[in-house]
Amino acid sequence: MKKIAFIGAGSMAEAIIAGIVKHEVLPANAIYVTNHSNKERLARLHEQYGVTPFRDVENIKDVDVLIFATKPNQIAEVLPKYASLTNAIIVSVLAGTPLATFEATFPNQAIARVMPNTSATIGESASGVAWNTKVTDEAKRWVTSLVEAIGIVQEVDEEQLHTVTGLSGSGPAYVYFFVEALEAAAIQEGLDPKTARELAIQTIKGAALMLDETREEPATLRERVTSPNGTTAAGLDALREHQFAETIHACVQAAKQRSIELGKA
Ligand SMILES: NC(=O)C1=CN([C@@H]2O[C@H](COP(=O)(O)OP(=O)(O)OC[C@H]3O[C@@H](n4cnc5c(N)ncnc54)[C@H](O)[C@@H]3O)[C@@H](O)[C@H]2O)C=CC1
Ligand SMILES: O=C(O)[C@@H]1CCC=N1
């Protein structure tokens, strides 16, 4: 039986654990998890998902896949503790941090850099993956099956992971921010909060499902909503006047740039 271990038990680790457990990729007790010091959080993860908390590397010496999910600035302190686990496939979900950082500790091992997002919680992550040169077909298959359990995955060059982070790693937050703004605007323009929330959620959900299920061009779907000289045209004109596309470009570029900086820290 395969055994995997998470080093770091924060939002991203929990989202991946939730997805893996829900899709029964592995028995929950074959998923080991540790964190810096928060015992209550590990106990809660055990209660909620059935995963196995651990403190000592001895408990996971036969682990098949080791998933690093600490913050980028915590990894230097963490890596030496796991240097003895030379049989494990290494997976990192850290933003920015290059494969080379992991290769310094695990020079002969298969290593995958994965950039998931928190929609992994419900099996809807949009993930990117890049591999090191030591990766075998079997390791690729294994990591891919884990990442597919939490959503879809696109293979990219390592350098492109910075852009993937700016698009889909951080992307859920942009969508939530958009919904916050949409709701606030609707409330200011006369709706009550509950009605604004329900309509905003269903609008995002319906539009996302239309994109996914019809596979039509976003521009085609947009045009179908937009009657000549109608309400949507007026709304879109206001977005253009306020530099919507330029704002989104600045957003993705800033997140990409921050990923590059995190990788150099
Ligand atoms: N939150 C998100 O949406 C996404 C996060 N990521 C990446 O995932 C990683 C984790 O992010 P979050 O879960 O949001 O952070 P977080 O702060 O919630 O979790 C970090 C975890 O690392 C643990 N940790 C710190 N030092 C440790 C040590 N010495 N030994 C063992 N565990 C230690 C902490 O106790 C905590 O459980 C980051 O590198 C981030 O770039 C990637 C994609 C999306
Ligand atoms: O904000 C961050 O740095 C992490 C990486 C991608 C999403 N959250």
**Does residue 128 surpass a pLDDT of 80?**
yes
Return the best residue to mutate from 6, 7, 12, 97 for the ligand 1 pocket (most ligand atoms within 8 A of CB): 12
Kindly give the number of the ligand 2 atom that is closest to the alpha carbon of 72: 3
What's the gap in Å between 68 CA and the centre of ligand 1?
8
The whole-number pLDDT of residue 156 equals 98
Ligand approaching nearest to the C-alpha of 36: 1
User: Pocket around ligand 1: residues whose beta carbon is below 6 Å from it?
Assistant: 7-13, 34-36, 38, 69-72, 74, 77-78, 93-95, 115-118, 169
Residue ranges of domains in the chain: 4-156, 171-264
Give 233-244 pLDDT, tens digit per residue: 999 999 999 999
CATH T-level fold of 171-264:
ProC C-terminal domain-like fold (1.10.3730)
Return the best residue to mutate from 38, 74, 256, 258 for the ligand 1 pocket (most ligand atoms within 8 A of CB): 74
Return the best residue to mutate from 7, 35, 42, 161 for the ligand 1 pocket (most ligand atoms within 8 A of CB): 35
Give 203-232 pLDDT, tens digit per residue: 999 999 999 999 999 999 999 999 999 999
- Strand extents, DSSP E, the chain: 4-7, 31-34, 52-53, 65-68, 89-92, 111-115, 125-131, 151-155
CATH of segment(s) 4-156? 3.40.50.720
If you average pLDDT over every residue of the chain, what do you get? 97
Rounded-to-integer distance, Cα 14 and Cα 12, Å: 5
Give 82-127 pLDDT, tens digit per residue: 999 999 999 999 999 999 999 999 999 999 999 999 999 999 999 9
What pTM was estimated for this model as a whole?
A: 0.96
Give 30-47 pLDDT, tens digit per residue: 999 999 999 999 999 999
The whole-number pLDDT of residue 2 equals 87
Which letter, b or e, does each residue of 3-27 get, where b requires 16 or more Cβ atoms within 10 Å of its Cβ?
bbbbbbbeebbbbbbbbbbeeebbe
